Amino acid sequence: MKYKDKIVKYCIVFILSTGLAICIVMLFPQVRQMIVELAARMLHKQISISGEWTKMLQLGAMRGLFFIAVFGYCSLTASGKALVCTIKNEIRDCLGEIDWRSFIKPTLIMSGIFLLGIISIIRANFLYFDDTGRAALGYRRWYDWSRYAAEFFSMIIHADYHLTDISPLPQLLAVLFLAVSSVSLVYVLNNKKITIIALLAGIPLGLSPYMLECLSFKFDAPYMALSVLASIVPFLFISRKKAFVIISVASLLIMCITYQAASGIYLLIALVLGFNDWNRKRKTNREVFSFLGSGILSFCLAMIIFRFLLMRPYEYGYATTSMLPFSQLFPNVLINFRNYISVINGDFGFIWKALIGIILCFFIFKSFRLSAQNKMISILSAIVLLSLLFFLSYGVYIALERPLFKPRALFGAGILLAIISIYVVLDYNKTAKIFALTLSWSFLVFALSYGNALSDQKRYAEFRTTVLLHDLSVLYPDKDKEENKIYIQLQNRIGFAPSVVNIAKHNPVIYRLVPQIIHEWEELDLWPHYYYLLYFNYGPTDTDNFAMAVKRGELYVDYTALDLPVVLKTYYHTIRSDGKHVLVELNEGIKP
């Protein structure tokens, strides 16, 4: 047995030493360039992206060094082996303390509620933005945004590396993930107790207007939902410090490689738990700050590992992964936060804002009534906490040079509402419960309206597309011949279906949730071209040319400057063309 242990140890040392030598050699630019050139010659391809590939090799070498250091410490040193053994025992103890059977019924209840909320979305069968390209072409491309988990799990869920539309399976998986997340959240916030009233108060977690956009994606939905679950799981191990830290780092890394918009959820839960323990004096100040320190340390460690070892820098028209430079961090973070507030304020109608305001007041009153601290300090702390929670609900996006303000990037605000609502309904008066449940009910009703609005917009867009393609096919019956090849651009939009406009009277966020589908180019948005050209089998025409021009950074020629003659004018659109360039001026329907 002793010789066997030595043999294993020597094998590990040999493998790690070899890997270490390879990684160190790969850090030299000349070596990386030589490897890329050799690969290009073997594949008979020109080295047009050698800079990108050499950066990938450098990043791979850094990842290898990190893995070798961690694995070597854990497998070859006495302290590392002892730490691994301790963490293993703590994780086992935490798992043994959880009554998993108590999760089954609540999970089924929340799955049913969330499924009811998105049943109209599923019925609409709407190709939502990226869905159009993925359904027509089968690509993945989550790797570009460092979402490696989405890349990997998509091949398992779709049983192929080439994607096809298998909806509603991905959305059903997302519902399950969100149901488990909501039950886990109640379990964590309610001291390991699950109640129906708390579950219902947590409905905004899965049916907030912003989460609805995530659930609208046929391909992306389960990975967006998984990022929420990954942010909550660590708090199931809160009773053991080492296990909590390790699980936190691992779970946060999973969150980062699924959907980074969930990056603020972990901090929201940690702060609410810490505040509750401090406010009621359940724990000493030292214990509270020790817990918060462990949580913040875990979060920072995970973000550092992701930033330097996993994240791929990526620049796109409407968003970027680039962090703000330190010299501009404070003023630009405030600008991003101001924009965040402005967007949410514009999205929510009066009824929602009134309900949320009342629930926030109940949060402060409850903190005051149940406080074991000085009452004035408790009120001030609750107000400061709410401000900090709202700030952190946007996650790391708030520190980006060009953050994303699409609804799907703001679902942290919906998670925050769920956390506050759950906190308010636990051990408090009936009036608070009524308002919290009213907010949940309003979100459920809106979800059903939204799904039906998607269906109406789809019907309207298909009608406009049919009319447009009929006119184009009459004007250019031989467009597939090389000498008759045409290039099409759109101008203006088709507008919204009447049902969408009706919903927007009290819930303006519907305008940002429901795509008009057919509209002019903006923010490098290729989906209108994919939709009316590829999805209706009209052919790629200018789509490939347009996409490559964008990737090369070239200026896309604006056909409006060509003074093209009118060849057809109808109620719905005007077509201008010189026989090669085609400009379609869309007439909007009902304007918001």
Residue 350 lies in a domain: yes
∠ CA 86-89-91, rounded to 5°: 110
**Residue 63: Cβ within 10 Å count:** 15
Residue that terminates a domain, selected from 413, 428, 443: 428
Residue 522 lies in a domain: yes
pLDDT tens for each residue of 161-194: 899 999 999 999 999 999 999 999 999 999 889 9
What's 193's DSSP letter? Answer: -
Provide the mean pLDDT of the chain. 87
Whether 509 and 423 map to the same domain: the answer is no
Q: Which residue do the tokens 């999760």 mark?
A: 103
**What confidence category does residue 349 fall into, taking pLDDT thresholds of 50, 70 and 90?**
very high
Q: Which two tokens stand for residue 575?
A: 């077509």
Whether 482 and 394 map to the same domain: the answer is no
DSSP assignment of 556-573 equals: PP-GGGG-PPEEEE-SSE
**What confidence category does residue 523 fall into, taking pLDDT thresholds of 50, 70 and 90?**
low
Higher pLDDT, 563 or 444: 444
Domain that holds residue 56: 2-76
Does 545 score more than 60 pLDDT? no
Give the separation between CA 226 and CA 19, rounded to whole angstroms. Answer: 33
Residue that terminates a domain, selected from 76, 101, 135: 76
Report the DSSP pairing between strands 581-586 and 487-491: parallel
Does 49 score more than 50 pLDDT? no
Report the DSSP pairing between strands 573-577 and 566-569: antiparallel
Collapsed DSSP state (helix, strand, coil) of residue 516? coil
Give the separation between CA 74 and CA 86, rounded to whole angstroms. Answer: 12
Whether 250 and 129 map to the same domain: the answer is yes
Higher pLDDT, 2 or 530: 530
Whether 280 and 389 map to the same domain: the answer is yes
State the DSSP H helix or E strand holding residue 490, giving kind and residue range, or none if neither. strand 487-491
pLDDT tens for each residue of 75-108: 788 888 888 898 899 999 999 999 899 999 999 9
- pLDDT for 259 equals 92
Nearest to 151 by CA among 222, 97, 207, 84: 222
Residue that terminates a domain, selected from 428, 459, 481: 428
Does 50 score more than 50 pLDDT? no
Residue 478 lies in a domain: yes
CA 305 to chain centre: 19
Residue 392 lies in a domain: yes
Residue 264 lies in a domain: yes
- pLDDT, average across residues 538-551: 54
Residue 168 to residues 17, 147, 162, 317, 545, Cα–Cα distance (Å): 48, 22, 18, 30, 33
Percentage of the chain beyond pLDDT 90 is: 56
Whether 102 and 243 map to the same domain: the answer is yes
Nearest to 23 by CA among 54, 71, 65: 65
pTM summary value: 0.91
Q: Which residue do the tokens 């004007």 mark?
A: 475
Whether 257 and 168 map to the same domain: the answer is yes
Whether 301 and 156 map to the same domain: the answer is yes
Four-CA torsion 14, 16, 17, 21, nearest 10 degrees = 140
Residue 440 lies in a domain: no
∠ CA 91-95-98, rounded to 5°: 145
